Amino acid sequence: MKNIISFFTLVIFIIFSVNSQIKEDVSTSFESSKKEITTMMLQQAKDWSNGDVEAFMEGYIKSDNLKFVGSNGLTYGWKQTLKNYKKNYPSKEHMGVLTFDLLEFDELATDVFLVIGKFHLKRTVGDAEGMFSIILKQIGGKWKIIADHSS
């Protein structure tokens, strides 16, 4: 009887230890992903503010599957999204200085995040700001935007 009680005590201890470790690993993974995404987006803001749309677009998946929803509706594909950015922001004055306020990070799956935030453009041609929600997927060890809804 003493052995059975000792055995069950050991099993319960192992279950609690493993569960605690899993929660710690998930928390560490979430924070690590959040930091990587934030770093990528800060680089995007820097690239945009330097007038480099192509470098800014490195944050997006280079695929026809990219989806961008903006004031002109739904756009499919990396090339068309780049073309639209160049058309709508033809000069450094139109691009201005970009900053983000990252409000929410939600892990949808191990390698997929939803990020909600605000963007701000400080420009000589008039400031602009709005909200965005983006879905990012970790591809080849890097976070890439696969869907962007900006308004």
Q: What is the pLDDT along the chain (151 residues), one digit of tens a residue?
A: 566 666 566 556 566 555 545 545 556 799 999 999 999 999 999 999 999 999 999 999 999 999 999 998 999 999 999 999 999 999 999 999 999 999 999 999 999 999 999 999 999 999 999 999 999 999 999 999 999 999 9
pLDDT of the residue at 20: 45
Helices (H), the chain: 2-49, 53-56, 78-88, 92-95
Q: What residue ranges define each of the domains in the chain, with the CATH number in brackets?
A: 34-150 (3.10.450.50)
Radius of gyration of the chain (CA): 21
Q: Count of residues for the chain? A: 151
The Cα 107–Cα 147 span in angstroms is 15
The predicted structure's pLDDT at residue 28: 76
C-alpha–C-alpha distance, residues 91 and 123, integer Å: 11
The two most distant CA atoms of the chain are separated, in Å, by 82
Contact between residue 131 and residue 46 where contact means Cβ atoms under 8 Å apart: no
